[in-house]
Structure 1
Amino acid sequence: MLNIDSLEKGVVIDHIESGRSMEIYRVLELDKLDCSVAIIKNARSKKSGRKDIIKIEDRIDIDLDVLGFIDPNITVNIIDGGRIIEKKHLQLPERIVNVAKCKNPRCITSVEQELDHVFVLTDAEKGVYRCLYCEQEYKRG
């Protein structure tokens, strides 16, 4: 069994679908942090067989909407004094801004480079989002 030092204070992003931790690392820009960040890939999981985990050795603000968009099954644990003091369960956000790009070449966001890429949740069951401007469908995953 792999042993990673326990955190005294920080954030643990848990139940990440196996293989998706690097995507989360990039999207949250964890490379810009001055603290230790541990990525555990393919950890054993009773629920899903395998999972990824990210441990951050500092309390940082995490965009829960971005994480919920990537995978609503992720849990975020806030650690203080070596214990979980708060556990956040995620859900699909109603709208996301500048997380995904519209793939429609005729969309205004393709022409107007400074325009925000905004997607609105249209089908929570299937995880379908649509571009706010052109209605182009965007499926997560």
Structure 2
Amino acid sequence: MMKNSFDLLVDGLAKDYSMPSLPNKKHDNEVYCFKFQSGLEVNIYQDDCRWVHFAATIGQFNDASNDTLSHALQLNNFSLRKPFFTFGMNGEKVGLLHTRIPLIEMNAVEMRKVFEDLLDVAGGIRATFKLN
């Protein structure tokens, strides 16, 4: 299966991080997963509307008290900076961070910038809330 512009952007990102070459594409709805020794995991995928999604799994909440969760929700004070990140928690009390950008606005430089911004914010959240 031929790689499209999204797949090529992900290939470039993997190369920027000195990762081995990504395997051949098996289907159109490919999800690319980047795992780090710190425990952070970032999935990158493209939806049917040609938006590129970045979703980071940050870690488990040990303290899910109302105060902690209220503090966590305040991280979603939206700003007009681009991209904006949305922080949440799944049913297993794992912190998740998400953003999305239209593919048409994406190039290799922007791809790396969004990815690194996501990692910085995710790392800060992980440290602040002591997620593991």
TM surpasses 0.5 = no
Higher strand share: 1
- TM (norm. structure 2) is 0.30
Question: Which of 1 and 2 has greater Rg?
Answer: 1
Instruction: Tell me the TM-score normalized by structure 1.
Output: 0.28
